[in-house]
Amino acid sequence: MDDPDFIIVGAGSAGCVLANRLSADPQTKVLLIEAGPKDGAISLKAPAAMLANLTSTKYNWAFPGAPEPGLGGRSFQHDRGRVLGGSSSINGMCWIRGHARDYDGWLQRGCAGWGWADVLPYFRRAEAYDAGADTFRGGDGPIRVTRPRAENPLAQAFLDAGRQAGYPMTSDISGQVQEGFGVFDRSTHKGQRWSTARGYLDPARSRSNLAVRTDIHVRRILMDGLRAEGIVFNNSGIERKIKARKEVVLCSGAVGSPHLLMLSGLGPAAHLTSHGIEPIADLPGVGQNLNDHPDYVLKWRCLQPVSMWPQSRGVMKLLSGLRWLSTRTGPVATNHFDTVAAVRSRAGIEYPDLQLTLAPLALQGTTWTPVVGHSFQIHVGLMRAQGRGAITLASADPLQPPHIQANYLTNPTDLAAMRNGVKLVRELVHQPAFASLRGEELEPGAQVESDEDIDARLRAMTGSQWHLSCTARMGAADDPDAVVDAQGRVHGISGLRIVDASIMPEVVNANTNAATIMIAEKISDVIIGRPPLRPAGPEAEVSLNPRWATHQR
């Protein structure tokens, strides 16, 4: 397509949404560019095959992380989708929106139109919830969302232990009550992953006004002064250019979008100059404000044969695969995250800052290989970390990945919250519900008792939930660190918009895929010129624990 109205760079969680919504007008020509391949592999359809995709670089950018000072100088890989559907094609399929206070916080930071009442209608528009539509949930959207039954004895023990420990129960973790224990919705349908490539792009692929091009790595934005004209990319060793008649829209994610801005001369001027890039616009916030969710995993032996250990190896693994291929049912048809808890790490915190998730099989370190024998693990995710990192250039070469420094656990408040999380999970697993299931504590180990020892273990083993975000955050024009306005337009630059997780002012208290899709749904109306959906009314207000100021639960 030689003269598209819109060029969308990145066919991920946001890009596929925009490709569908913008091309719905047959008079609008849309070009969708993706650096990765098409999404035809069977591993991208089978939910339990997510580990195979994360341990491969075929569909994963697998960005190297910098040594992390808060983790004893450790570094690890940052997984991001590199395929049609982006991270929604390789992620854990956990579907959760975050708390209403997250979005009201965005509104208070100068992002008009992004409060909870404003965004809820777009969450509803995006989803088709198999438990049925209501005030909080959508019934006929492009993303199929499955409510699990949580039938595994370990999942039931998790819920029962939460009740025994005095935590509230929630009937819908994305509904009126987030705080508490409940089932964990997932973006699957009839035993298959439901990515944005599946939900949004597939229905639009046959449109004559939509062109989808894969395996094309965009090198920079084509600029004419302070206007974005198009993109520059390499095709078979030859540099090529293509112009957009209306806009270039970056949907390359929290790593890719700020990286592409800086390669194009849009970013912190001194930093660009140090890499031999002539600054076009001094935008100091580009790449800054990196948010993520640190993750630590506690592990136990399981005394009963109820874990997924038999299905993870040998003949049983093969039979499970064959069952999925023929019926789309069985162990391969799920992500195995059936239950979740959103809790507060201490009294005095208004709404949850920890996410606890049980998996019915423990994995070893960073190898992703199962622990030998029956086991289970519980993730402690810090969902409102105070530490901030940055995406910066490592080189002016577009083919070289950027420098990713997240600064996990460098903030004392974050370390304290994670330490409390370890103690809370230990208390949970020592409730009567786990008595017949709980064996030896494998991680951190019973010998790790003091705060100092727990902190040392956290520094040695904490990883990431791969929810990098906020590196081109929204904010008012007079906010020197804001990169885009409330409509996703880059400050001071015409013809250029960013629509992905990078524009979040602060990361949401949840896995980020649902929120990223919501962002794209909302800004698609802005781009089209359609009035925003009617804000939700008082019936959609969420509840808070009335004792939050004085009690942890």
Per-residue pLDDT tens for 98-156? 999 999 999 999 999 999 999 999 999 999 999 999 999 999 999 999 999 999 999 99
The structure tokens listed for 245 are: 């008649």
Distance CA(293)–CA(367), nearest Å, equals 20
Distance CA(49)–CA(538), nearest Å, equals 41
pLDDT computed for residue 541 by the predictor: 95
pLDDT computed for residue 368 by the predictor: 80
Element at 23 (helix H, strand E)? helix 15-23
For the segment 478-510, what is each residue's pLDDT rounded down to a tens digit? 999 999 999 999 999 999 999 999 999 999 999
Residue 289: CB atoms within 10 A of its CB come to: 26
pLDDT computed for residue 237 by the predictor: 80
DSSP structure class, residue 198? I
Element at 498 (helix H, strand E)? strand 496-498
pLDDT computed for residue 365 by the predictor: 77
Is there a cis peptide before residue 47, judged by omega within 30 degrees of 0?
no
Distance CA(107)–CA(485), nearest Å, equals 12
**C-alpha dist (Å) from residue 463 to 70, 87, 342, 382, 414:** 11, 18, 19, 11, 13
Helical H segments across 85-203, by residue range: 100-108, 116-126, 153-164, 196
Helical H segments across 205-332, by residue range: 253-263, 269-274, 314-327
- Per DSSP, the three-state class of 296 is strand
The separation between the first and the last C-alpha atoms of the chain, rounded to the nearest angstrom, is: 57
> Are 475 and 492 within 8 A, CB to CB?
no
Helical H segments across 314-373, by residue range: 314-327
The structure tokens listed for 377 are: 């693990």
Q: Which among 284, 260, 252, 289 is positioned nearest to 271, based on CA atoms? A: 284
CA atoms within 13 A on the CB side of 188: 31
**C-alpha dist (Å) from residue 259 to 9, 278, 331, 403, 458:** 12, 15, 39, 9, 30
**C-alpha dist (Å) from residue 536 to 13, 54, 103, 118, 320:** 24, 38, 13, 7, 44
Cβ contacts of 76 within 8 Å, gap of 6 or more: 65, 366, 463, 464
Beta strands 30-33 and 6-9, pairing class:
parallel
User: HEC profile for 512-537?
Assistant: CHHHHHHHHHHHHHHHHCCCCCCCCC
Q: Which among 31, 493, 36 is positioned nearest to 243, based on CA atoms? A: 31
Residue ranges of the chain whose pLDDT lies below 70: 1
Distance CA(181)–CA(10), nearest Å, equals 35
Residue 369 β-bridge partners = 364
- Per DSSP, the three-state class of 122 is helix
In angstroms and rounded to an integer, the radius of gyration of the C-alpha atoms of the chain is: 23
> Are 196 and 208 within 8 A, CB to CB?
no
Q: Catalytic: 467? A: yes
Distance CA(172)–CA(85), nearest Å, equals 26
Q: Is 349 exposed, middle or buried (0-12, 13-18, 19+ CB in 10 A)?
A: middle
pLDDT computed for residue 372 by the predictor: 95
Distance CA(249)–CA(7), nearest Å, equals 6
Distance CA(198)–CA(202), nearest Å, equals 5
CA atoms within 13 A on the CB side of 307: 26
Q: Which of 293, 374, 467, 491 is catalytic?
A: 467
> Are 201 and 84 within 8 A, CB to CB?
yes
pLDDT computed for residue 238 by the predictor: 86
Distance CA(408)–CA(92), nearest Å, equals 21
Q: Which among 150, 470, 165 is positioned nearest to 336, based on CA atoms? A: 150
For 128, phi then psi, to 5°, come to -120, 95
Element at 220 (helix H, strand E)? strand 218-224
Q: Which amino acid is located at 273 in the chain?
A: T
Q: Which amino acid is located at 346 in the chain?
A: R
Rounded to an integer, what is the distance from CA 374 to the centroid of its chain? 29
Q: Is 11 exposed, middle or buried (0-12, 13-18, 19+ CB in 10 A)?
A: buried
- Per DSSP, the three-state class of 407 is coil
